[in-house]
Chains A and B, each alone.
Chain A
Amino acid sequence: MLTINNLVKVYPTGKEALSGVDLTVSEPQVVAIIGSSGAGKSTLIRCINRLVEPTSGSIVLDDTDVTALSRRGLRRARRRMGMIFQEYNLVERLTVMENVLSGRLGYVGFWRAYLRNYPPEDIAAAFELLERVGIAGYEDTRADALSGGQRQRVGIARALMQRPDLLLVDEPTASLDPKTSRQIMRLLCELAHERGTPALVNIHDVALARTYADRIVGLHDGKVAFDGPADALNHEVLTDIYGEEDWSTTLADAEDGAGKPDRRLHDEVEHEAAAG
């Protein structure tokens, strides 16, 4: 599905954010990318849809080498990658519906978008998604009137409107309180599994990553320092990724919820399927 080979990014300032990252995602799974600030998490995610231009290396999504695309080709490739942001990045002065439908911009022409005249199937899909992410009835509310958690739900709906083959998620919970963070993370992982869409999730919160992700990739100094299942995280691995620290509480936090969330996830998926 996604193969990243020897990806390097050097910023004009001379800072080498990524120094040869290799990463393959070959099944629909939630991959949490952890690492300290400046380890290159954000750069990695942004290189994949080329919001940040990679310096060298290749990124292959299915059969397309994203790094070699022209402007036009890049726009087509971006339609297949939904992105979710830490600061939600909604158009604050537009309504929830306008924001969600903006996920279809790659498919509609200028005038249809200008007149907000989207195809009926897009509108139906938008209403369905609003319900699924838990903000049904908010379609005519302006984005700046929503709470952080609600905004992120809109952000998720916008990304899923693209019917993406890959979700790029940059710190989805860093601006949210702990409870909302868990709800958003759970929702994200449920949706990724439901739709069979692989997701790359940058996340600071190791316990959250461990609880909800299927696989964890640790970045250290622009390189992959760890790549393995969520429960393989231990004191040594965390020290490799972040440096020396007492990790016992971090590991214990995730331990409390380990095992259970997965089951709950499946229950809810089944429940949703039964209801729908």
Chain B
Amino acid sequence: MTVDEHARRHPEVWRRFSPRQTLVRYAWYLGIVFVAVWSVSNLDIPWFYFLDAHTQAGDLITRMIPPDWAYFDEILDPLLETIHIATLGTAITFFLAFPVAILAARNISPNAMTWFVARFILVASRSVNTVVWALLFVAIFGPGPVAGIWAVAARSIGFVGKLTAEAIEEIDEGTVEAIEATGASRLQVLMIGVIPQVLPVIYGTMIYRWDINIRESTVLGFVGAGGIGIQLYASINQFAWREVAVILLAVFGVVIVSEFVSAIIRQRIN
């Protein structure tokens, strides 16, 4: 091999992307910037209010201090109601999301029709916000925590069901094969071969959703579906900012505790 030939076969230059690929990449960046600029210019944002936003924010905070601690006695019951709404709503979710998830998993669903119906339920559940579900259930059950419970459940089915269905689609098929090979029935294969594999995901998702539901339940009162939102809404409307401060701090405390609890439980599951 001559020196030239050696240099040709072992060049010193190597590039990960061809010039064409680089061009395409920069075109994408440009496109993203364009979309962002277009969105902002289309929104007709009143920039005028931005000028004193910081003083307004500071003002609001001073009006919240000191929090009206005496008010805490009045919100203790609604606070508990909020937690109950979240917990019962999540409990209902467990029983409803599970069958839907099984039908929505491509590898387990009996046929294309059941799969489609289950997927439709999951998408419908998730496409509507909890507050909107609450509006619907207030119309059905009347105002109160029952509407809140069902609103929480209706929204959570999509969340828990989707994640569970995805977990089912990723199970070890070999185990399922082995259980099928023993002559087990379809239900037995599901119970012994499939469910034990996804139980940690189901538990983890349920706990996580309970945590989210506690946060979401705090605003359900805005539309009359029970919980602490009723007090929060009233206090804001009366400009009782010191009461608002107490409610926000109380909610903050509950969320911290629920997050702590859910973190501990999820750590234990495996």
Interface residues, chain A, with chain B CB atoms under 8 Å away: 49, 51, 75-83, 85, 87, 89-94, 98, 102-107, 110, 113-114, 155, 158, 162, 168
Contact = CB atoms under 8 A, between A and B. Distances in A.
B46 interface: no
B60 interface: no
A105 B180 CA distance: 9
Given A105-B182, A158-B182, A168-B181, 13 more contacts: A51-B177, A79-B182, A81-B181, A82-B182, A83-B178, A83-B182, A91-B175, A93-B196, A94-B196, A102-B179, A110-B185, A113-B184, A113-B192
A75 B185 contact: yes
Contact of A89 (B172, B187, B191, B199): B172
A265 B187 CA distance: 41
Interface in B178-209: 178-185, 187-188, 191-193, 196-197, 199-200
A94 B179 CA distance: 13
B234 to A, nearest CB: 49
Nearest to B196: A93
A155 B177 CA distance: 13
The DSSP consensus for interface residues of chain B is helix
29 contacts: A49-B181, A51-B180, A75-B183, A78-B181, A80-B183, A83-B181, A85-B174, A91-B175, A91-B179, A91-B196, A91-B197, A92-B172, A92-B175, A92-B196, A98-B192, A102-B182, A102-B184, A102-B192, A105-B179, A105-B182, A105-B183, A105-B184, A105-B188, A105-B192, A107-B183, A110-B187, A113-B184, A158-B178, A162-B183
Interface residues of B, number: 21
B191 A113 contact: yes
Across chains A and B, which 5 residue pairs bring their CB atoms closest together, nearest first?
A: A106-B183, A79-B183, A105-B184, A89-B178, A78-B183
Contacts of A77: 183
A83 to B, nearest CB: 4
A140 B35 CA distance: 59
A98 B175 CA distance: 13
B268 to A, nearest CB: 14
Contacts of A90: 175, 178
A89 B191 CA distance: 15
Contacts of A104: 182
B168 to A, nearest CB: 14
Contact of B174 (A79, A87, A98, A102): A87
A91 B182 CA distance: 13
Contacts of B180: 51, 78
Contacts of B192: 91, 94, 98, 102, 105, 113
Contacts of A102: 179, 182, 184, 192
